[in-house]
A and B are shown apart, each in its own frame.
Chain A
Amino acid sequence: MSYLPLPCSNPAFRMEKSPAIRSQKIVPLWRDERILRILGQVVFLVLVTAFLVYLVRNMLVNLNRLGLGLGFDFLPLTSGFDIGEHLIPYGRSDTFLRALFVGFLNTVLVSGLGILVATLLGLIFGIARLSGNFLIQSLARIYIEFLRNIPLLVLLFFLYTSVFIQLPRVKEAITLPGPVLITNRGIAIPWGIPTETFSEYQYILGFGLISAIALERGLTLYSRRTGRAPLGWLWGLVLFVLVAIFGWLILPLKPLTLDEPVVQGLRLAGGRQFSPEFMALLSGLAVYTSAFIADVVRAGIQAVGRGQVEAARSVGLNGMQTLRLIVLPQALRVIVPPLTSQYLNLTKNSSLAVAIGYPDLFHVSGTILNQSGRTVEVIVITMAIYLSISLFTSTFMNWYNRRVRLVER
């Protein structure tokens, strides 16, 4: 009887303890953190869905009350209006759908060119901002600070009403060598008109492009193996140009004839003409966004350690080489993600075209909305198209981002 069992050796004690442990493990459902977390998300999703359903229902009920239905059956109907600038043939007897497509292409054109020019300008001013030269650095700083701090809409109005519309009238057109005609009706440049042999020439160009890429790849591999750097892209370009010239010469008929713009009475004729609206929108979007891109580029370059530059200098690379081979590849990792959002901004900002009358997607959809009376549908389509453009752009940029990230070692 004097025997006192140790707790651990007492099976009864263990038996007592274990249900307590189990009850600690089996938390009731309403206090289980994992379940609560999932439940929280479900509740949130249900609430959001219910809210959306409520909004849509509310809209449908109100539309019904007015005797208006929703539907996309108006899209194949004749639009009845003309559009000033179209990349594909378009006239009043075409459909609303085609009109939307014309607007979409105009948006893609102005955003695509805008992104290109903005990136170039941004790169130049971003690097200039870090220059040791006081004049260059100050000019870049003024450019960036000025453009970043005025609203884009104001800039567009300024460019349109005070620059492009104020250019000389057609009678007093400024003629630059080329000839490039500059008037307030637009800017006209010489442009090639395809002839019968143009399609054959396209094949030749395609062949040239493929062989140039193959040469560049080959030379890059060669340089990796041997350590010599034979400038792959330059030789590729040379090959492409050679093929292009050769193709031009062997074809019996020139694939393109040059169409020079001329002043014809009160109008411009021939060549490729860019309307003042297009020029104002393109230049406004490009310089405005370039100021932001310049800052992104500057931040990227500054993110590369000073030691990297000093090391590059000490192994004998010159300034340009340091920038191209050492700084930029590392800076790109920092630059690309914010650059993506600048590209998206530019694309979305192109809808301000409506203020100066360039027929972009939003401008055309506004007209369609008014002529067809289908407000909700047209707005939904327009949103969906902008969303698709943006998602496509960011998918592409994310892909590029992953690619440049591999450079990191």
Chain B
Amino acid sequence: MNRKVFASFALIAIFAVALAACGGGGGATPGGGESQTAVETVEVIKTVVVTVEVPAPAGTPQVKIQVAQAPGFGDTLKAVQARGNLICGVNGQLPGFSFLNPEGQFSGFDADFCRVLAAAIFGDPSKVEFRPTTTQERFTVLQTGEIDVLVRNTTWSLTRDTELGLNFVATTFYDGQGIMVPRDSGIATLKDLEGGTICVQKGTTTELNLADVMATEGVSYTPAVFDDINATYGAYGEGRCDAVTSDKSQLSSVAKGLLPNPDDHVIMDITLSKEPLGPVVRHGDDQWFDIVKWSAFATFAAEEYGVSAANVDDARSTSTNPEVKRLLGLESDMGLKLGLTNDWAYNIIKLVGNYAEIYDRNLGPDTPTFIPRGLNSGYMDNGLIYSPPVR
């Protein structure tokens, strides 16, 4: 009897969710004609006037921005400032991008972009709480507001940009998917992998690209899908798979970090896909979207104008270039427009560095996780790193 009652409760619960799900689905389709639809439509169209008062540093004129904005505008920044730190979702297992260094600090390319944001908001790059996430939970924790921003080598794709309720901000690292095989295996082309097993990490675009490319090439294979980086490369290292596939940056950094004999493995000369990686924010707060976007652009622009952590103070006092002056908050009120202080970009450059410095610190030739800059050079060096004008 007891069991029956319990089972019926469980069923009721499931049905309740299922019914609600159907209701929600119906309401989302345009022209549903029900009252719920009407309410939703009103909410979407409704705009409110948000008065954002920004405490400006001494010496700058007080400005009041008054613009018509959707609800949710400015909520994230307010929440972050009230909390006193930024919660940044990172990978946490990927050497060179975000991992715990021997000093117990998160370090890496992605981790530094979290610090860039903290420097822009608080003028203090240490005000970041790093939250390691798995591939599987990363979008959910961002959607539910558990983290403020996701900087976790996440590939920008149309589905993710729309379906997940998230916005990809900018591309901070242009990557491509590669395949790594043991050097002595003699595998050189995709055809050599016919009938083989390939280790891949679960819930990634890598998994999808692999399926696409192998289907196109007509190569049959068996995927061995693992939940995290350590399991994936652990299994590959033990010879469970003929090859392992991931973003080339990950392959080269992990090969050096996690495999026992890194020199026994080679990345094949094939690029399976485009993998633009960058920070991700929730839908619904365009101010926050702008802040994250322009913080990244500020590092690009600083490299372009030759402003680095070392010379930013000189540049502030001597530069005559109006672009640099606007960037560093000497002219106009770029920071205030973002809802930050005018020295936001100065803080970023001074406290974390420009794009080249961040790259070299984590992925440069002197690091164990060296990746040639390639596409990630500034556009003036025939790369793709390009900032829209700061004006």
| Interface segment out of the listed A161-169, A298-306, A311-319 | A161-169
The reply to whether the CB of B202 lies closer than 8 angstroms to some CB of chain A is: yes
- Closest approach, in angstroms, between the C-beta of B8 and any C-beta of chain A? 11
Q: Is the CB of B211 within 8 A of A69?
A: no
Choose from B136, B197, B282 the contact partner of A366 (Cβ within 8 Å).
Answer: B136
- The digit string for A340-368, where 1 denotes a CB below 8 A from any CB of B, is 00000000000000111101000100110
Q: Is the CB of A357 within 8 A of B215?
A: no
Q: Is the CB of A367 within 8 A of B165?
A: no
The reply to whether the CB of A73 lies closer than 8 angstroms to some CB of chain B is: yes
Q: Is the CB of B24 within 8 A of A70?
A: yes
Q: Is the CB of A56 within 8 A of B20?
A: yes
Q: Is the CB of A65 within 8 A of B284?
A: yes
List of B residues within 8 angstroms of A375 by Cβ: 140, 143
Please, which residue of chain B has its CB at the minimum distance from the CB of A86? Answer: B222
Q: How many Å lie between the Cα of A62 and that of B225 in the bound state?
A: 32
- The digit string for A359-397, where 1 denotes a CB below 8 A from any CB of B, is 100010011011111011100100110010001001000
- Closest approach, in angstroms, between the C-beta of B203 and any C-beta of chain A? 3
Residues of chain B in range 326-365 having any CB-CB distance to chain A below 8 Å: none
The reply to whether the CB of A3 lies closer than 8 angstroms to some CB of chain B is: no
Q: Is the CB of B160 within 8 A of A373?
A: yes
Q: Is the CB of B136 within 8 A of A387?
A: no
| Interface segment out of the listed A75-83, A106-114, A130-138 | A75-83
Choose from B25, B204, B215, B282 the contact partner of A69 (Cβ within 8 Å).
Answer: B25
The reply to whether the CB of B235 lies closer than 8 angstroms to some CB of chain A is: yes
Q: Is the CB of B27 within 8 A of A53?
A: no
Q: Is the CB of B165 within 8 A of A68?
A: yes
- Closest approach, in angstroms, between the C-beta of B206 and any C-beta of chain A? 10
The reply to whether the CB of A46 lies closer than 8 angstroms to some CB of chain B is: no
The reply to whether the CB of A322 lies closer than 8 angstroms to some CB of chain B is: no
The reply to whether the CB of B260 lies closer than 8 angstroms to some CB of chain A is: no
Choose from B28, B72, B224 the contact partner of A357 (Cβ within 8 Å).
Answer: B224
Interface SS majority for chain B: helix
The reply to whether the CB of B164 lies closer than 8 angstroms to some CB of chain A is: yes
Q: How many Å lie between the Cα of A49 and that of B20 in the bound state?
A: 13
Q: Is the CB of A84 within 8 A of B24?
A: no
Among A81, A369, A376, chain B packs the most CB atoms within 10 A around the CB of A81
Q: Is the CB of B242 within 8 A of A267?
A: yes
Q: Is the CB of B208 within 8 A of A69?
A: no
- Closest approach, in angstroms, between the C-beta of B181 and any C-beta of chain A? 10
Q: Is the CB of B21 within 8 A of A380?
A: yes
Q: Is the CB of A66 within 8 A of B165?
A: yes
The reply to whether the CB of B13 lies closer than 8 angstroms to some CB of chain A is: yes
The reply to whether the CB of A185 lies closer than 8 angstroms to some CB of chain B is: yes
Count of chain B residues near A, Cβ 8 A = 64
Count of chain A residues near B, Cβ 8 A = 64
The reply to whether the CB of B139 lies closer than 8 angstroms to some CB of chain A is: yes
List of A residues within 8 angstroms of B197 by Cβ: 84, 185, 267
Q: Is the CB of B17 within 8 A of A56?
A: yes
The reply to whether the CB of A1 lies closer than 8 angstroms to some CB of chain B is: no
Q: Is the CB of B165 within 8 A of A266?
A: no
List of B residues within 8 angstroms of A91 by Cβ: 211, 215
Residues of chain A in range 262-301 having any CB-CB distance to chain B below 8 Å: 264, 266-267, 269, 275-277
List of A residues within 8 angstroms of B204 by Cβ: 370
List of B residues within 8 angstroms of A89 by Cβ: none
The reply to whether the CB of B94 lies closer than 8 angstroms to some CB of chain A is: no
Choose from B21, B40, B144 the contact partner of A71 (Cβ within 8 Å).
Answer: B21
| Interface segment out of the listed B50-58, B226-234, B271-279, B290-298 | B226-234
Q: Is the CB of A165 within 8 A of B208?
A: no
Q: Is the CB of B14 within 8 A of A384?
A: yes
Q: Is the CB of B203 within 8 A of A370?
A: yes
Q: How many Å lie between the Cα of A43 and that of B215 in the bound state?
A: 58
The reply to whether the CB of B195 lies closer than 8 angstroms to some CB of chain A is: yes
Choose from A81, A184, A266, A369 the contact partner of B207 (Cβ within 8 Å).
Answer: A81
Q: Is the CB of B225 within 8 A of A52?
A: no
Q: How many Å lie between the Cα of A366 and that of B164 in the bound state?
A: 15
Residues of chain B in range 223-267 having any CB-CB distance to chain A below 8 Å: 223-227, 231, 234-235, 238-240, 242
List of A residues within 8 angstroms of B188 by Cβ: none
Q: Is the CB of B226 within 8 A of A71?
A: no
- Closest approach, in angstroms, between the C-beta of A140 and any C-beta of chain B? 32
Q: Is the CB of B139 within 8 A of A370?
A: yes
Choose from A68, A80, A92, A391 the contact partner of B7 (Cβ within 8 Å).
Answer: A391
The reply to whether the CB of A227 lies closer than 8 angstroms to some CB of chain B is: no
The reply to whether the CB of B163 lies closer than 8 angstroms to some CB of chain A is: yes
List of B residues within 8 angstroms of A66 by Cβ: 143, 165, 282-284
Q: How many Å lie between the Cα of A386 and that of B146 in the bound state?
A: 28
The reply to whether the CB of B135 lies closer than 8 angstroms to some CB of chain A is: yes
Q: Is the CB of A83 within 8 A of B136?
A: no
Q: Is the CB of A81 within 8 A of B211?
A: yes
Q: Is the CB of B235 within 8 A of A357?
A: yes
The reply to whether the CB of A67 lies closer than 8 angstroms to some CB of chain B is: yes
Choose from A64, A185, A367 the contact partner of B225 (Cβ within 8 Å).
Answer: A367
The reply to whether the CB of A93 lies closer than 8 angstroms to some CB of chain B is: yes
Q: Is the CB of A165 within 8 A of B25?
A: no
List of A residues within 8 angstroms of B10 by Cβ: 387
List of A residues within 8 angstroms of B139 by Cβ: 370, 373
The reply to whether the CB of B383 lies closer than 8 angstroms to some CB of chain A is: no
Among B143, B203, B225, B226, chain A packs the most CB atoms within 10 A around the CB of B225
Q: Is the CB of B222 within 8 A of A84?
A: yes
- Closest approach, in angstroms, between the C-beta of A209 and any C-beta of chain B? 34
- The digit string for B161-180, where 1 denotes a CB below 8 A from any CB of A, is 00111000000000000000
List of B residues within 8 angstroms of A92 by Cβ: 208, 211-212, 215
- Closest approach, in angstroms, between the C-beta of A23 and any C-beta of chain B? 37
List of B residues within 8 angstroms of A363 by Cβ: 202, 225
The reply to whether the CB of B190 lies closer than 8 angstroms to some CB of chain A is: no
Chosen A-B contacts, 7 in total, with CB atoms closer than 8 Å, are A63-B24, A72-B25, A80-B208, A357-B227, A366-B202, A370-B136, A373-B164
By a beta-carbon cutoff of 8 Å, the part of chain A in contact with chain B is 48-49, 52-53, 56-57, 59-60, 62-73, 80-85, 91-93, 161, 165-166, 169, 184-185, 264, 266-267, 269, 275-277, 354-357, 359, 363, 366-367, 369-373, 375-377, 380, 383-384, 387, 391, 394
Known: A56-B16, A80-B208, A267-B242. 13 other contacts (CB 8 A): A48-B9, A62-B144, A67-B284, A70-B22, A71-B28, A92-B212, A165-B238, A184-B238, A184-B239, A264-B195, A275-B224, A373-B160, A377-B21
